[in-house]
A and B are shown apart, each in its own frame.
Chain A
Amino acid sequence: MRIAYYSPLPPERSGVADYSAHLLPALHERLDVHVVRRGRTRPVRGVDLALYHVGNNPDAHGWIVDALRKRPGIVVMHDFVLHHLVAGLTIGRRDGHGYLDAMEREGGVVGRLLAHGVLDKRIPPLWESRPEEFHLAGEVLDLATGLIVHSRHVKQRARAAGYAGPIWRIPHPAWEHAPVERAHVDGRPLIGSFGNVNASKRIPQLLEAFARLRRDRPEARLLLVGAVSPGFDLDRRLQRLGLSGDGIAREAYVEEARLWSLMAACDVCVSLRSPTMGETSGSVIRQLSLGKPVVVSDVGWFAELPDAVALKVPVDAHESETLYAALELLARDDRAREAMSAAALDLVRREHELARAADLYLAALEQAAGGADVADSVLSDVAAAAADVGIEPESPEAAELARRLAEVELGR
């Protein structure tokens, strides 16, 4: 089977680019994959199926949606909330009406009015202030002949949005890494947070919890790896919490090898998120594959991690206190950390092996490419047999047949 594969790829810096670079060699072993050149939106000839990787970043994924519009196909939804993407495809291309229409489609008249407010700069951009309320995934869902998702969370949201096509859940594959040398970063314990430094990564809450932890544990250290988002005043916050001394270690964007080595140095990794766009964290997958105990927000994909591998912090009024309690527990209890580490490695082996993910892709794509023919053939045989014995198409008996077919996923 030959497929056209649309995705950002390195050297683009994005989680989806890393994901595809990791997955593609395993897919090449199983399928004839034509990787489509960035920016090409004209349908590729001679393929059985097109596979589109869609995320919320318009720079990385705008051209992919353009291609999807020309030829529907299977969409890998890396995020469910696509508001930022749609804003880029509309406002970013001076198509204000497109944005108004997209908002109206999802939010009715209220949505259209809010969109006017955004265009007139009367209210802050909704993709920053209220993305969860307006996901704007509708057009992509309409164009998708099938969905591949990484989490039950995104599957449920797609169904809730009325998507009726096939959905396959394929866990994010883990990276097989060579033995990693730990970076030399002091801290007992050393707590790491990887990714952009901003409010949606709950850095304010993390700093607050860590400052409290450090009062009793002066040797504790927080390692923040990632760029500070515009408008987020990290230094001022650190100063206010008395963390501007040696309690914090900082690195901005780091290359892959350094990233692994810094993660390996950590005793605990923290990955908080709110709001969630429905994304899976490649960072957390890396941490689990190193056997690191993780602390995550109790939202989206993160909430689906087994309790044995992750301490989950609800996003509520007590977030900082709960986070402090989680960090304190992991700081004092070596056995809890060891048990979580073993559970993480086991989870990665069971669920996140690359070969397993590639096999699941193959199964999904094979079903997608020929599934309609199979369903038609079975339905036609069953319908003919039913007609032979006088079962009318709209009769209760026909409905019962349809129910039974659906039970074993033989219907359409």
Chain B
Amino acid sequence: MRIAVCAPQVPFVHGGAEILAETLVRELRERDHEADLVTVPFKWYPGTRVLDQAFLWRLLDLTESDGRPIDIVIATKFPSYCVRHPDKRVWVLHQFRQAYELDRTGLGQFGEGPPDRALRRAVQRLDRIALGEAKRLFATSRNVAQRLERSTGLAPEVMPHPPQELPYRCDEYGDFVLSVNRLDRAKRIDLLLEAAALDESLRVVVTGDGPDRQRLESLARERGLNGRAEFTGRVDEDELASLYARCLAVFYAPVDEDFGMVPYEAFLSHKPVLTTTDAGGPLEIVEDGRTGLVTAPDAAALARAAGRLRDHPDEARALGRAGQEVAARVTWGACIDRLLS
């Protein structure tokens, strides 16, 4: 089949969503489908730019390409699912969260004036229409599915996606907690730094880059974490696999996250995940005392949890192994079968 995978592109930003779309194309090709990635740059501010940019997708004609029909489009993330196609399937990674659960939080985008309130509603209406057109609708986690059902009345099937391919392995349960994430406020990496400030024997390694990096580095300095908090910036695949292989545990606690591949990557490296009770999607696979530790979203509780794993490496190993069994069940073969059925 000829399949177009649609995903927005934020120039100079490359994260989990981009990796998913690229990997999906590759996996489809490996199964003898003719697949290609279709992207359109996305800028969601200021004002109604979010709608203008969504509308660009509406103008694309993906019914055929170069004189030959495109059988299926698979869209992943707002606003790519606004695309029109008679056989549109959507695997929702993200709605535009600022219009939903992030509204009226520090991470929101819309103000209190009537135009901003109406703009938020227009995004929601657009979602209802565009997602309502999908022949099959999937969500990457129960959290995303529930949000989608609450906001649009549509009931997607839950289908997690496998993490990126890396040479996963476990070399040891070392002396540091690893954070793998884009550095922005919603990812709440400051919580990990504050925990390190409370436990002088706790070391943390923060990978990734993003707009919050400067603030986080300043915070680490202010808390006197010199030498105990290392910011690596973006690392290549081998280095990332090596960090996973050597760490004690992986910290992953964004606010009400959709899904996130990091817990799966940690599990494939036999590492437990430290997360918080308000992290959303990760809680679907990080079970307290079984595949990781789930704490209240405060630094002291997180510091205690990290200390517990450091003092009991056998427990870290057992949790990581249980996680590995969970992650091994999520395969590309099963996902693609469902997407195309």
Contact = CB atoms under 8 A, between A and B. Distances in A.
Interface string A209-242: 0000000000000000000000000000000000
B52 A378 contact: yes
A374 interface: yes
Main secondary structure of the interface of A (DSSP, over half): helix
Contact of B55 (A48, A368, A374, A408): A408
Interface in A332-379: 363, 366-371, 373-374, 377-378
Interface residues of B, number: 27
Nearest to B82: A408
Interface residues of A, number: 22
A381 B48 CA distance: 9
A326 interface: no
A405 interface: yes
Nearest to A364: B121
Contacts, number: 74
Contact of B121 (A48, A366, A405): A366
B115 A378 contact: no
Contact of B116 (A367, A370, A409, A410): A370
B59 interface: yes
Contacts of A366: 114, 117-118, 120-121
Contacts of A401: 59
Given A363-B121, A378-B52, A381-B52, A407 B58 contact: yes
A258 interface: no
Interface string B82-118: 1010000000000000000000000000001111111
Nearest to B123: A374
A410 B121 contact: no
Given A48-B114, A366-B114, A404-B55, A374 B119 contact: yes
B115 A370 contact: yes
Contact of B59 (A368, A381, A404): A404
Given A374-B51, A377-B48, A369 B114 contact: yes
A381 B117 CA distance: 19
A360 to B, nearest CB: 11
A369 B114 CA distance: 6
Contacts of A409: 122, 125-126, 129
Nearest to A367: B121
Contacts of B192: none
9 contacts: A367-B122, A370-B113, A378-B52, A401-B59, A408-B54, A408-B55, A408-B58, A410-B51, A410-B122
